[in-house]
Amino acid sequence: MSRLASLPEMWDVLVVGAGPAGMAAATVTASAGLSTLVIDEGPGPGGQIWRAIMTTPVMSRPVLGSDYWAGAPAVRAFYESGATYLPSTQVWSLDADGVAGLSAEGEARYVSARRVVIATGAMERPFPIPGWTLPGVMTAGAAQGLLKTSGLYPSDRLVIAGTGPLVWLYAAQLLAAGGRISALLDTTDPGARLAATRSFPAFAASPYLAKGLALMARVRARVRVLRKVTALSIDGRERATAVRFRRGGGAEEQIPADTVLLHQGVVPQVNLAMATGVGHRWDDRQLCFVPEIDPFGQTGLERIAIAGDGAGIGGWEMAVERGRLAGIGAARALGIASDLVPSPNPALKRLRALARPRAFLDTFYRPAVAFRRPAPETIVCRCEEVTAGDIAKAVDIGALGPAQLKAYTRCGMGPCQGRMCGLTVTELMAAKRGVSPAEIGYFRLRPPVKPITLAELASLPVDGANVKAVVRS
């Protein structure tokens, strides 16, 4: 019998995502004696930050660094908790009653849980510039994933462009692995640097300052770093061949490149939570939609909680604490005796400390407007090849929000289901209409949130009522 077919139908707790938050939540609930099912689409535990931690071919510890290897004890605790863990499995639907549609190895089925913790984490913010759809252009996170999973790194002419801690972290990891970087194009907005001075004291009091400066120093010692980069674009026909840019108001410059890595921060992955019906609000500091939750990750839907970076960006240490709190919340809601559930107080205290330096990071690395609301000829929706100009035109002829935009242009209707264009669409339409992103809102998301084949759907178990509903008498 296949893995899915032999799975029990009823669970106390379902956790979607086996990253820092999902593993922490599941460790709490399974240790408290609750039947806990953890589903993850990746082949191993760890999420993106600890990706391939059990199998990485990069064994020399300094290459991936201490934050990476901090995941090993978390994975061990998760494995020992008694939770049932299904890797390489998709959750393509979830409803407010806790019924989840799963698929793996060409089969599908439904399971039901009394409490669900959505821990689907973050993704990199879209970086729409001319040429970003060319082969050879990837995100910095993609390259980092290749290094963690396979020990692979670009060995041709490499340019890294963008802003945010991951740019520096990946550059340092790549150099340590033996790679070379032709140039690092820093798109950090000089205006944002200035705006961040107010929140600097709280950041300076955290360990992040020394850590960040050390990373930057290691990279600067070996890589040409060009600052105040604007007007970035990528040349090429069959694949990337060069990057073009200006520094401040300077003349146009060009650097040959076979591989271009882009990055401008990370944002919550909202597709599953939104399709489940969880309410979200616009976060103007992090420039993204975040779910409306209480300190235990509890959403407005009784059975559904959200933990980790999917609940707003905070990094892996916050994700662990928020995962724990979601696990504690689920265990309490299911009536587990208080001596079997850890106290939430240490996690709440750690969270307050971890939150203090975030304002600086969010403000300092706030992506420049030009890279969030691109020029008219730039492709915004990669799947359907809808440009910023197409979106402006649709607004001109009456599209009020993302839902109408779909009907006008097919924007957001390709295989990625708006993941690569959603935030750009919200910001472009808001600016064009002169209203706030909150008023524009996001795409209306619906299941299936992951592709599922007809054969997989047809493999769902049916009972008499299902047949009666569709067969004519």
Partner 1 sequence: MLARVDDRHQRTVPISIDGRAVEARVGDTVAAALLTADVAACRVSTVSENPRGPYCLMGVCFECLVTIDGVGNRQGCLIEVRDGMAIETQSRRREAGR
Q: Which is nearer to partner 1, 68 or 203 (CB)?
A: 68
Provide the H-helix boundaries in 199-264. 200-204, 208-220
What distance in Å separates the CA atoms of residue 270 and residue 262, rounded to the nearest whole number? 21
What distance in Å separates the CA atoms of residue 416 and residue 378, rounded to the nearest whole number? 18
The 10 Å CB-count burial string (b at 16+, else e) for 226-262 is bebbbbbbbbbeeebbbbbbebeeeeeeebebbbbbb
Least distance to partner 1, CB of residue 60, Å: 6
Q: Exactly one of 385, 438, 447, 459 binds partner 1 (CB under 8 A); which one? A: 385
Least distance to partner 1, CB of residue 43, Å: 5
Least distance to partner 1, CB of residue 153, Å: 6
What distance in Å separates the CA atoms of residue 40 and residue 17, rounded to the nearest whole number? 5
Q: Exactly one of 33, 414, 441, 448 binds partner 1 (CB under 8 A); which one? A: 414
Max CA pair span of the chain: 78
Neighbouring C-beta atoms of residue 263, cutoff 10 Å: 28
Decide: is 135 part of the binding site for partner 1 (CB under 8 A).
yes
C-beta separation of 149 from 196 below 8 A:
no
Least distance to partner 1, CB of residue 417, Å: 8
Decide: is 63 part of the binding site for partner 1 (CB under 8 A).
yes
Decide: is 286 part of the binding site for partner 1 (CB under 8 A).
no
Number of residues that bind partner 1 (CB under 8 A): 54
Decide: is 413 part of the binding site for partner 1 (CB under 8 A).
no
Interface pattern 142-161 for partner 1 (x via CB under 8 A):
xx-xxx-xxxxxxxx-----
Select from 175-183, 213-221, 244-252, 361-369 the region that touches partner 1 (CB under 8 A): 175-183
The helix/strand/coil state of 38 is strand
Residues 100-119 that bind partner 1 (CB under 8 A): 106
Decide: is 447 part of the binding site for partner 1 (CB under 8 A).
no
Q: Which is nearer to partner 1, 362 or 384 (CB)?
A: 384
H or E stretch covering 110: strand 107-118
What distance in Å separates the CA atoms of residue 302 and residue 289, rounded to the nearest whole number? 21
Least distance to partner 1, CB of residue 335, Å: 36
420: Cβ contacts below 8 Å, ≥ 6 apart: 126, 381, 382, 383
Beta bridge partners of 242: 235, 256
Q: Which residue has the tokens 């509890």?
A: 298
Q: Which is nearer to partner 1, 77 or 142 (CB)?
A: 142
Q: Exactly one of 12, 309, 321, 384 binds partner 1 (CB under 8 A); which one? A: 384
Q: Which is nearer to partner 1, 106 or 250 (CB)?
A: 106
**196 is written with which tokens?**
């961040």
Footprint on this chain of partner 1 (rule: CB under 8 A): 41-43, 48, 52, 55, 57-60, 63, 88, 106, 123-124, 133-139, 141-143, 145-147, 149-156, 177-179, 238-239, 258, 269, 382-385, 414-416, 419-420, 451, 453
